[in-house]
Amino acid sequence: MSRDLPVNLEINGAAVALEVPLTETLLATLRERLQLTGAKRGCNQGVCGACTVTLDGVAVRACLSLTLNCEGQKVATIEGVAADPLIEALQQAFVDGGALQCGFCTPGQLIAARALLSQNSDPSVEEVQQGLSGNLCRCTGYRKIIDAVLSAARSMRK
Ligand code: FES
Ligand code: FES
C-alpha cells in the first residue's frame, strides 16, 4: 500500500497543501478532494480534453497529470477563471454562436481557448484548430467552436 506524500499547489489563486498517493491524478485531486468538478472526466486517458486545466498558464490534461508532479505550480480550473475577461468573452461568443450543446466539453474548450488567446490575440483559423486540436466535441462539429474563438479574439482586440 503506497503512502501519501505532501504536495503544495496554488489552485485558482489559493495555496493548497495536500497529501496524496503517488498515482493520484490532478483530475482526481480537483474533482474528488476539492470538489472542483468543472474539469470533466471524459475518457480519463488523455484523448478527449474534457479535463483540460492550465498549469502555469499552459493547457494540460488533468487526467494525465500526476498531482505530485505539479508541486509548486499554479493550477487554473474553469471555476477559478470565471471572472476573467477573456473567459467572459469566450463564453459569450460560445453562447451567441451556438458553439455548445450538451456542454460537457465546454469547460475544457474554454480553458484551452483561453490559453491560446493569452499567447496569441489574433490567431488564424489554423492556429485555433491547432490550439483546440486536443479537445473533442461530440455535439457541435467544430466550425462553430472555431468561429466562437475567433469572434472572442476579435471582441478582445476592440
Ligand atoms: S478525461 Fe482527460 S483527456 Fe479525456
Ligand atoms: S457540446 Fe456536447 S460534447 Fe461538446
Give DSSP secondary structure letters for 77-128. Answer: -GGGGTT-HHHHHHHHHHHHTT--SS-TTHHHHHHHHHHHHHH-SS--HHHH
Distance 60 CA to ligand 1 centre (A): 10
- 2 band by pLDDT with thresholds 50, 70 and 90: low
Cβ distance 65 to 88 under 8 Å? no
Distance 38 CA to ligand 2 centre (A): 14
Q: How far apart are CA 54 and CA 57, in angstroms?
A: 5
Q: Which domain holds residue 35?
A: 5-79
When the pLDDT of each residue in the chain is averaged and rounded to a whole number, the result is 97
Ligand 2 residue neighbourhood (C-beta within 6 Å): 100-106, 137-140
Distance 106 CA to ligand 2 centre (A): 7
Domain end: 43, 63, 79, which one?
Answer: 79
The helix, strand and coil proportions of the chain, stated in percent and rounded to the nearest 5, come to 40, 15, 40
Residues 152 and 86 in one domain: yes
The pLDDT, as a whole number, for residue 1 is 58
Residues 6+ apart with CB under 8 A from 84: 114
CATH number at 131 reads 1.10.150.120
> Looking at residues 128-144, what average pLDDT do you find?
96
- 3 band by pLDDT with thresholds 50, 70 and 90: confident
- Is the CB of 136 within 6 Å of ligand 1? no
Per-residue pLDDT for 98 more than 70?
yes
CATH number at 60 reads 3.10.20.30
Give residue-wise pLDDT tens across range 21-80.
999 999 999 999 999 999 999 999 999 999 999 999 999 999 999 999 999 999 999 999
The pLDDT, as a whole number, for residue 8 is 98
Q: Which residues partner with 58 through β-bridges?
A: 55
